[in-house]
Amino acid sequence: FSAASTFFTPPYTWTATGLPTGLNVSSNGTLSGVPTQSGNFVFTLTVTDSLFRSVSWSYSLTIQ
């Protein structure tokens, strides 16, 4: 994931909650891993700037 903003101040840190087991998001926004379970998942992705301001998005992910 990546971000560009005139309001937020780099560097940015990425986090995610609700990802299926085996997947993770690194602090630089890279989604990686191998999911170990199938199903429909809703996860929340958050980016935080150097002044601790943050914004979050919800995404839906289907693993078959």
* Residue 4 pLDDT: 87
**How far is the C-alpha of 64 from the C-alpha of 10, rounded, in Å?**
36
Q: Are strands 13-17 and 23-25 parallel, antiparallel or unpaired?
A: unpaired
**How far is the C-alpha of 43 from the C-alpha of 35, rounded, in Å?**
14
User: The whole model's pTM is what?
Assistant: 0.90
**How far is the C-alpha of 31 from the C-alpha of 49, rounded, in Å?**
19
Q: For 31-44, what is each residue's pLDDT tens digit?
A: 999 999 999 999 99
In which band, very low, low, confident or very high, does the pLDDT at 63 lie, cut at 50, 70 and 90? very high
* Residue 59 pLDDT: 97
**Closest-CA residue to 15 (of 53, 48, 41, 37):** 48
Q: For 2-49, what is each residue's pLDDT tens digit?
A: 988 888 999 999 999 999 999 999 999 999 999 999 999 999 999 999
